[in-house]
Structure 1
Amino acid sequence: MKNLSRLLFAMLLVLGYSNVNAQDENNPWQITIGANAVDAYPSGDGAPFSETIFSKFVDVDNYNILPSLSTISVSKYLGDGFSFGVAGSLNKIDKWGENADGTAMSADDLSYYAVDGTIKFNFLKGTTIDPYLGVGGGYTWIDEVGAGTVNGNLGVNVWFSENIGLTVQSAYKHAFEDYLQTHFQHTVGLSIKFGGTDTDGDGIYDKDDACPDVAGLAAFNGCPDSDGDGIEDSKDSCPNEAGSAEMNGCPDTDGDGIADKDDNCPTVAGLKALAGCPDADGDGVTDADDACPDTAGPAANKGCPWPDTDGDGVLDKDDKCPDVKGTVANNGCPEVSAEVQKTLNEYAKTILFDTGKSSIKAQSAQVLSDIIKILKEYPTAKFTVEGHTDSVGSETLNQRLSDARANAVKEYLIENGIDAFRLSALGYGESKPIDSNKTRAGRANNRRVEINLAK
C-alpha cells in the first residue's frame, strides 16, 4: 500500500505540469488524486434506504480514513456538461457497521479496494463553484471478497484557476450481494484538467484559434497583430508597420489621406490624383516634375505656360511659324496678301528665257533672287509656277514649251533654298492669254511665268 501511495504522488507531480487556462471543451481530461473515507454506518438494520441511513452521515468517528494518497480518478469530457470517468481507490477498514449500543463495530484491519465508473453531469460548467451529480457502478473488494455496486454521487469542484481545483465528493454504494454492506465513500482530492492542444503556444487552444500555427492574441481569436496597431495581420495591408484603421493598418506619414505604400511623396502632403505628390500651381504636374511649379502650364511643356515667341497671338506649340509673326487664321504663319501676290507676278513676268527654249537667261538671276526672298517670308505657303506662251507655232509645241519653262523656274527655286513640297509646276500653253496675240507687244505679254498661291 505504501508503494501504491508513492505511485499516486508521482503521478500528481507529473500532471501538475500540464498546461492550464482552458475550459472543459479545450482541456477534456480531468484527473483527481486525493484521499478517501469509507463509512458503513448504519449497516445492520437490513434496510438499505432506512430512515436512519443518513443519521450519522457526518460522524467522522465512523469513518475509515487512510491518511495518504488513496484514490485516483480520470474522466473525459463528453460535451453539454456530461463526462465519463473511472476511479480506483484503496483503504484500510477498522470500523465496519455498528454494535447494538450504537457504537462503531471494530474490524481487524480489512483491506478495501474499489473500481468505479461514473457518468457525471456538471450544473454550472465553467464556474468557480462547479457542483455535479453522478450515477454509475463498480466493484468493491473487502478482504479480497468482492461484489458489484450501483453508485450515486454528489460532489463539487472548486476551481482555483481554470484547470486546477479541489474536488469533494460523496458516493452512495449499494451492493448486489448480502456479504457486502451498503456504504458511503467520501473523497477529497486535487483535480487537474488537461489535454487541450495549443500548437502555437499563445494560450488559445487550437479548436478556438483562428490561426493555430501562429501565436496571436485573444482579441483576434488567436491571430497575430505583428505591428501592434490593433489590426490583425490578415486584415492589415501593412502588417509590419503600425498604421491606422482608416488606412487599413498602413501609416500615412504626411497625413494626406494616402497610405505611404501608395504615396510617391510620403513625407509631403499631396493629392490622390497625383499619387500623393503636391501640385502648388494646380496645373496637374507634380512639383517635382514641374519646371514652373508656381505658374500653371501644360504637362507637354513640363508644367510651364507655352511661349509666343513671335508675339502673333499663336502659342509656339500651335504656331507653324513660331519665329515669324503671322495670323491666327493661318496657324501663326504670315498670309500672302493680294499685294504680295501681285509683286510676285510682276517679278515672275520679267524672267527671260532663250527663244523657243526653257533655259533661263543669266540676266534673270536678280529677279529670281527677289522672288526667293519673298517666298521665304511665307515658309508654309505653297505656290504653283505657271508657264504661258503666245499663239505663235503649234498648240502642242506651245503646251510643251510652257511646261518646260514652268518646271525650269521651279527647279531653280528649289536649288536655291525653297522646299520642294511647297512648289508645283504647270504649263498652260497659249490657253490663257492676258493680251492680244495680234501685236508684238501683246504676244510679249502673253509669253510669261506666273507664281500664284496654291489654293
Structure 2
Amino acid sequence: MKKQILWLACCLTTLTAFTQTEEKKWTLGVHGGLAQYKGDLGNGFYQTDQASYAFAGINVSRYLNNYFDLSLAFSRGEVGYTDHSSVGTALNPNHFLARHNSGNIAVRFHFTKPTAVVRPYLMAGAGLVWYESVFSLQKEHFVFSLPTVGGGFSFQFGPVVSLRLQESFLFTNADHIDGVTAGGDNDMELYHTVALTFNLGKQKDTDKDGVPDKKDKCSDTPTGISVDEFGCPIDTDKDGVADYLDACKDIAGLPSLAGCPDTDMDGITDKDDRCPTVFGPKELNGCPDSDKDGIADINDKCPGTKTGYKVDGNGCAIDTDKDGIVNEEDLCPELAGELVFKGCPDTDKDGISDKEDRCPTAKGSIENKGCPEIPKLDVQKITLIAGKIYFETNSDKLKLISNSALDDLADILKRNQSVNLTIEGHTDSDGDDAYNITLSQKRTESVKNYLISKGISEERLTPVGYGETKPIADNKTNAGKAKNRRVELKTSY
C-alpha cells in the first residue's frame, strides 16, 4: 500500500496540462482515494470505524459538448471489511480483504459550461472488476459493475489544471467476493476519489500564424504572412490593404485597386493609367474617347465619327469599297456604287439597284422588280396549261397526260426568272368540306413538287387549296361540277 501511495504522489507532482475545452477535447487524469464495502457482512459506506483501503489509477476523457463528456477510468487497489459485532469462523467469516482492478466507462453531465470555475456533475456508466487471487480470495474473479453511478465537483485552477472530487457507486453482479452468500446482498463498492485532470492538446491556431485563435483578430491569415501581435497582416501604408496584397505598399491607395492610388477615379491605378489626371475607360488605358469609337482622343484623326460606326486605327469610319460612302451608310459595302442607290451599283441602268433587281443584267420595270415584262404569249400559254392538269379520281396523283403541259410550264418559268407562280386548287361540292380542302391542297402540292423536280425554285411556288369554296359554275349539274374541278395558275412578280 505504501508503494501505491508513493506512485500516486509521483504522478501528481510530475504531470501538467491544460483544462479540457472544445479546442482541447482530450484530457488525461490521475486519481486516487479510498474504497468502502457494502454487502452480506455489513455496510461500510461512510463508516469511520473501518480500516482505510486505498486505490489509485488513471483516467481519460473525451469532450462531447459544453455539458457532456465521456470518461474511461482504470483503478487498482484494495477493499475490505470487518464485522466487529461478531466472531468469525472458517464457515462464517466476519471479515475479508481483496485486491481489485477496475475499468469503468461513464458519461458525465455537467451543470455548468467549461468556463465556470466550479462544475458540479452527475455520471452513469458500467465497468468490469478483476479481483486477484490474493488475501481472502483463493482464485481470481471477474465481475461486472452495472451500473456505476455517482457525481462530484470539478474545480478549475485557471487555464492549466483541474481538481475533481467524486463519489462513485459500483453495483456488482457478484455475491461471493466477501466470502458470504447467505445474506443475498450483492457486493458493492464506494469510491471516494480525488483526481487531477490534464489536457493533452494545445491552444488552437487555425491560420498557423503563431497567434492563438482567442487572441487572433484575423484568424484567416494565409500561411507564411507576417502578422502583428493581434494576428493581422502588416499594413505599412495604413490604407487598409495588407502588404502581401498591396501592389503599392508604400503609397496609400484604394482597397479595390490592390492598395494603389487612382487620381482621376476612373478605376485604373495611376501607375497603369496613360492619362492619370483625366477620366477614361480601362480598355483605352485610362484615356477619354469623346466620339466613342474605341480610339482614344490623343490618337483619333477623325474625332467627330458618329457613335456606333466602325473605324480604322486612326479613328476614321471605314469605307471598304472606296465609293465615298462609309460602310454603316452603304447598303452594298463590298461593291462600289452610287450615292442615289446608297452605295449599291445598277449594272443594267434600269433605275433599280442590283441589290433589289431580280434581273440585274437586263433592263426591266419597277413593277417587275427590275425584270422585263413576261411576254403575252407566255401568259396565254400558262392559262391554257392550267386546263390541262388532270388528277386520278379522288386522288392527288397527277395523270401522265399532265406531264407534257407541266414541262411546258417549267420552261416558261425558267425563261422568266422574275415570275412567281401561285397554284390554286378547287373541287366541286361532292364530299365533306374538310376532305375537299385537304384534297385540293394536296393536288396543288403535287403540281409544285413536279415543277421543283424540273428545276424551279421552291420559293417561287405557292400552293393553295380552296376546296369547294370558290365555285365558278353551278354544282347542281354535272357540267358545272366539271368546271369547278380545276387548277388555276396565277403569276406575280
TM-score, reference length from structure 2: 0.40
Q: Which structure is larger by alpha-carbon Rg, 1 or 2?
A: 1
